[in-house]
A and B are shown apart, each in its own frame.
Chain A
Amino acid sequence: GLFHLSIVVLCPPLTSDSISTVLAAATITMKLTSTVCFPRQEIMKWNGWGYSDSKFLFNKKGQAEFTGKRYRLSGMVLPSLQDWFENTFGASVNHKSPPALNASAVPPASLNEAFVEDLKATGIPFSHEAEDRVFRAHGHCLHEIFALREGKKFERVPDMVVWPNCHSDVVKIVELACKHNVCLIPYGGGTSVTSALECPPEETRCIVSLDTSQMNRILWIDEKNLVAHVEAGIIGQDLERLLNESGYCTGHEPDSMEFSSLGGWVATRASGMKKNVYGNIEDLVIHIKVVTPRGVIEKSCQGPRMSTGPDIHHFILGSEGTLGVVTEVTMKIRPIPEYQKYGSVVFPNFEAGVACLREVAKQRCAPASIRLMDNEQFQFGHALKPQVSSIFTNFVEGLKKFYITKFKGFDPHQLVVATLLFEGDRERVLQHEKQVYDIAATFGGLAAGEDNGQRGYILTFVIAYLRDLGMDYYVVAESFETSVPWDRVLDLCRNVKERINRECKERGVQFQPLTSCRVTQTYDAGACVYFYFAFNYRGLADPVHTYERVEHAAREEILANGGSLSHHHGVGKLRKEWMKESISSLGVGMLQSVKDYVDPDNIFGNRNLL
């Protein structure tokens, strides 16, 4: 029999079933048709993740709090976080490393006057304010955020920012850029974690950041074919919300969907949490319009599949802004599912959990989302448990814990939890749920309730905020991902964790690092694995350098263990050095020849990928 219980209690039960409503509180203040330059830095942090009003902090009593009103966790006190934080990292709430208050010094803009003159004539808004330029000079890699906090100078930032309002604006900008030999760097949501947005320091031309945020309309919805035609600057959560108003969704929900853009997804081959039902970005797009220095690339029809030579979409998907700007995308939409249900399963250990996920993939019955967190993340989840108000809840929690650990014999330092999300009509969801729980039971899994599942997914959205808290107390953290064949999942996870621990030790990190992973996607032939890695850097002269060396070693370990260079983050400039090894030098040559043809003067000169 199955036992429904809850183990991980992060916050009180939610009343809503939809992940979109989990985010609903994060309301959008963007004016969707604004022609005014949108100053993102007003509501978003300039030196950290997400909204300015939302952050973790330790209050005067030393208890952790999450501020703001946007998230379910907002305004709550998290009594266990301090202990977990101090014990895990050897950090102390008394040792603060707050960000330097001075904004980073900005190198002066070197403008191409002729370009500026011609651009003025078009009426397309632009800016060369330092704030606007610095905001678009980086993504969210550790070294980038660390530099911002420390008030370190970026070697190179864009010289100006331009805000096209539609496809034809982009065409004009690209033409002018070609005419005046100006370097263009497309900027969508700014959530890159591959140094893709960094300006190449060796670039001597004027660098223009092309901010797509004003191209954020749904141009039409075709209910007969279930497709929507959307401008590529639209941000994930806006797209979902607007489609929801018409009763539809794309179902594409990458963890960054609060801030990342449609164009960015296309440019990096993004993957969504619910890809098991809706597919990854490459499965979702029907038609892409791209403006390149050679002109506009698009297909002539919207046939659902074609045999017309290699798919030109695949030159665009993952091109990381090196070929042009994605301006409009036609993508599949689906009616909003009738019913959604979260779920969770605890397993005695990671091995059992992976075996279960493998079996689920084999039987091709994966729910919309299925994720397996390792024990470290399970414990981390515990640390984010808000204050429990009633004695009764406390008592019930205690009983459940007793049942799992004492009666079922699970070791609290071994057990892991899988979180599930089912979607569809009610009856089929329940049927599906039973099938998955039955499989889980054969691997020793115990169903652990809906709430735990749902809270697991919330963790995804707040974890990025936690990095900022860590950095306030000498802890640096980062995540990275890979995809790997099923038979190598366990070996890869173990070896990468061990490699990180060992590298930290060898590089003088004085405290035991936190290494944690989860399996976030299942495929027929393998899985996507996501790692978190954090350490207390007190006593290190150059923590960012140390961090980068360790991450480098971890990536080598991943490759040596049969993992890919990236599942969905992309290559950017961070992982360029491994491209030849990954796709062969001939493969690199093929990509290079496309680049040479489409953009012979390297107008799109962010130097990602190749």
Chain B
Amino acid sequence: HPHQATQMSNYCLNILVFVTLQQRDPMLKRDGFEDILEERRNSSDLKYALRCYAPVLYKGVTPCKANMLKNIVLQSDQLRYVINQVSQESGEAPDIIQEEASVILEEMAHRLQISTVRFFAFALSKAFKTLFQHVCVNEEGIQRLQQAIQEHPVVLLPSHRSYMDFLLMSYILYTYDLALPVIAAGMDFMGMKFVGEMLRMSGAFFIRRSFGGDKLYWAVFSEYVKTMLRNGFAPIEFFLEGTRSRTCKSLTPKLGLLNIVIEPFFKGEVFDVNLVPISISYERILEESLYARELLGVPKPKESTSGLLKARRILSEDYGSIHVYFGQPVSVRSLAQGKVNRSTYNLFPRHIPRKPMEETQSFVNDTAYRIVRLQEDNMVLKPWVLMASLLLQNLEGMELSVLTEQTVWLRGLALSYAAFLDWPDHAPTAKVVSSSLALHRGLACVSGGRVSLVVGEPLGPVTPEEALFNRAVSVLSCASYRNQVLHVFLRPAMLAVAMLHLSDEVYNCFSFLWDMFSNDFILCPGDTVQDFEEACYLLVKTGAVQMPQQDIVMTDIGQPTLSFFNGLLEPFLQGYQVVCRYLCEEASEGLTEKQYIPAVRSFAVKLILAGNLRCYEVLSSDMQKNALAALLRMDAVRKVKNRMISHINQTQISPSLSLVAVAEDLCRDGLTPSYIR
């Protein structure tokens, strides 16, 4: 009952929200940064690369040679069990399976070599100094990490926005004389033979992108990771998001590897495991326009060494600063306290692989979300991120003075919502705005006192479609900056949308949006009420709404905030609506998943060209996929057999009908005249 829920949430608001926010509010305890490039600019890179490197390890273990590690894995009870199992199922001799396992391991395993690390230390020093103004690291985080490495097995969980991420991570750890991590990397890197081997020698190990049913592969892989973890040979690093986020929004976490690294704790093989969320924020992402094109359907270029070399031209550009924030290590033991009963692992031999229990699965899922949120919390935001958010709501362009004024306003709002904003000290606002524009001159330009998005000028005549795509590239590139601030504003923004559309059932509407958008944003499962309360708290705190008794009402000064929030989410509302419309109006019965993306895209292109839609973000395959996933999850659309998508007819199932209807109503009502005619 929505009213009860609202009532309940209002009731608890003062106590609960305050407490949870106090816990979550990271503003009070964020560390300062040090620029590690500064020293590189003042002393010899060669000396730096050759200096004595002697990190402390877990409980003082002596590091293990890569070959010995392989032997431990191949001889483990876990792997032997699976080898025998596979042998019995396939009829092959165990020796042959054992050999297969050995080959898999050979293909997978890292061969960390200090000489290669030193080479990278040298080369990256040169490259970083050319590309970036600063590489900033919170040294307190480094100290915490150093402590954690000595006490417990450590798992490093950085955000993933760029290929740069894991080289950067190893570079930083080398700089601070910390144990170098072993890094789970996708096999696609192996396409680049030489680079792949170099990465292997700097600590990367390679896993196939998909190995669903391959028992042996899974056994080798998980045992390899667990062996390194249990023995504390090196911190293990992987990307919870699974792949680089092309949108700069955090991606829904993948659970496979997290399950693997947490299991030794549940089985009592280690006392604890520490998860360290790490937020890597780029002022400008190297892959910026590449990502936009990829989202628009230009296929991802296959990683090849020559391709990477062509990327040399990026070396001449200025990519601003990088901020790397090492978060507070999270103890799995503390997290699991009272949530997972470890003794349920007592009745089954520990070396026999088993699907995690439901209780464990939901714990791991929950943990993954929390970690990604911690990553988000410590992402450093640049002024440009705020400017991009404003520009995207004014695609026709803005007066520079208006942009400046609104950026200042937005800065205040962001700060009061605990955004980790890196705003230059003592610089006049006009200067901040103009230098941001200068750095991102590829995306926005000022002409005649007006700021507008830059649209790449094509050579020669273009079709209307080509022109549209060119514009979409710049919108999506710009959106990737706006997306960085979404995690700060998301909850109050959803509340603002809910207030606008269903003012008498605000919680219900919020909850619907929350549910629908949970593929697009990081919304921890089960946190709807808590998020609602947080949203209320934040909007009340900034004076945009009041909550007399059970109502939520906009205040006199709340208009700008609420309409900004509405504008912020509008592209998403529209995107989802276009997908719904497509499924209702156009989709044929036998639509396959493969056909879906291009079909929605051309549907949207038609709408835009016809002048019925002005939202370019609908063209993003990311949004299209997320919308479909949400509709599938909410049972508005159903997958039949293998790949078929069956659109549920309005006459078929009433609950789903209402969902679609609500979504449509909501989206239609949400559209402002500037977007649709």
Which A residues have a C-beta under 8 Å from some C-beta of B? 487-488, 491-492, 494-495, 498-499, 559-562, 581
Contact = CB atoms under 8 A, between A and B. Distances in A.
Nearest to B230: A491
B343 interface: yes
A495 B269 CA distance: 8
A442 B295 CA distance: 62
Contacts of B351: 487
Contacts of A495: 268, 271
Nearest to B349: A487
B271 A562 contact: no
A491 B345 CA distance: 13
B342 A494 contact: no
Query: Which of B267, B269, B271 has the most CB atoms of chain A within a 10 A radius of its CB?
Result: B271
A369 B221 CA distance: 43
A491 B269 contact: yes
Contact of A491 (B268, B343, B349): B268
A561 B350 contact: no
15 contacts: A487-B349, A487-B351, A488-B268, A488-B350, A491-B268, A491-B269, A498-B271, A499-B271, A560-B268, A560-B342, A560-B343, A562-B268, A562-B343, A562-B345, A581-B343
A492 B268 contact: yes
B346 interface: yes
A491 B268 CA distance: 6
Interface string B245-268: 000000000000000000000011
Nearest to A560: B342
Q: Is the interface of A mostly helix, strand, loop or mixed?
A: helix
Contacts of B343: 559-560, 562, 581
Contact of B350 (A487, A494, A498): A487
Contacts of B346: 562
Interface string B267-281: 111010000000000
A491 B271 CA distance: 8
B268 to A, nearest CB: 4
Contacts of B349: 487
A515 to B, nearest CB: 13
B421 to A, nearest CB: 36
Contacts of A487: 349-351
A494 B231 CA distance: 13
Contacts of B350: 487-488
Contacts, number: 26
Contacts of A559: 343
Contacts of B342: 560-561
A96 B663 CA distance: 76
Nearest to A485: B346
Contacts of B271: 494-495, 498-499
A556 to B, nearest CB: 9
Contacts of A492: 268
Interface in B343-401: 343, 345-346, 349-351
Contacts of A560: 268, 341-343
A494 B343 CA distance: 17
Top 4 nearest A-B pairs (CB, nearest first) are A560-B342, A561-B268, A562-B346, A491-B268
B141 to A, nearest CB: 23
Nearest to A501: B271
A498 B269 CA distance: 13
A492 B270 CA distance: 10
Contacts of B341: 560
Query: Which of A487, A495, A498, A499 has the most CB atoms of chain B within a 10 A radius of its CB?
Result: A495
Nearest to B271: A498
Contacts of A581: 343
Nearest to A562: B346
Nearest to A495: B271
Contacts of A499: 271
B178 to A, nearest CB: 23
Nearest to B267: A491
Nearest to A582: B343
Contacts of B345: 562
A474 to B, nearest CB: 28
A561 B269 CA distance: 9
A411 B268 CA distance: 26
A472 B264 CA distance: 42
A355 to B, nearest CB: 14
A560 B346 CA distance: 8
Contacts of B269: 491
A498 B270 CA distance: 10
Query: Which of A499, A560, A562, A581 has the most CB atoms of chain B within a 10 A radius of its CB?
Result: A560
Contacts of A494: 271
Nearest to A502: B271
Contacts of A498: 271
A560 B269 CA distance: 11
A514 B269 CA distance: 22
B76 to A, nearest CB: 12
Given A491-B267, A581-B343, 17 more contacts: A487-B349, A487-B350, A487-B351, A488-B268, A488-B350, A491-B268, A491-B269, A492-B268, A494-B271, A495-B268, A499-B271, A560-B268, A560-B341, A560-B343, A562-B268, A562-B343, A562-B345
A5 B559 CA distance: 88
Interface in B36-80: none
A488 to B, nearest CB: 6
A345 to B, nearest CB: 26
Interface in B263-305: 267-269, 271
B5 to A, nearest CB: 35
A498 B152 CA distance: 11
Interface string B326-345: 00000000000000011101
B625 to A, nearest CB: 41
A290 B342 CA distance: 39
Contacts of A562: 268, 343, 345-346
Nearest to A487: B350
Contacts of A491: 267-269
A495 B342 CA distance: 13
A487 B351 CA distance: 10
Nearest to B351: A487
A596 to B, nearest CB: 29
A581 B341 CA distance: 11
Query: Which of A487, A498, A559, A561 has the most CB atoms of chain B within a 10 A radius of its CB?
Result: A561
A498 B265 CA distance: 13
Contacts of B268: 488, 491-492, 495, 560-562
Nearest to B344: A560
A491 B266 CA distance: 11
Interface in B10-40: none
A337 to B, nearest CB: 38
B60 to A, nearest CB: 12
A492 B346 CA distance: 12
A323 B345 CA distance: 34
B324 to A, nearest CB: 30
A298 B345 CA distance: 40
B405 to A, nearest CB: 52
Nearest to B345: A562
A561 B342 CA distance: 7
Nearest to B346: A562
B58 to A, nearest CB: 13
A495 B343 CA distance: 14
A492 B345 CA distance: 13
Nearest to B269: A491
B154 to A, nearest CB: 16
Interface in B603-656: none
A561 B345 CA distance: 8
A162 to B, nearest CB: 42
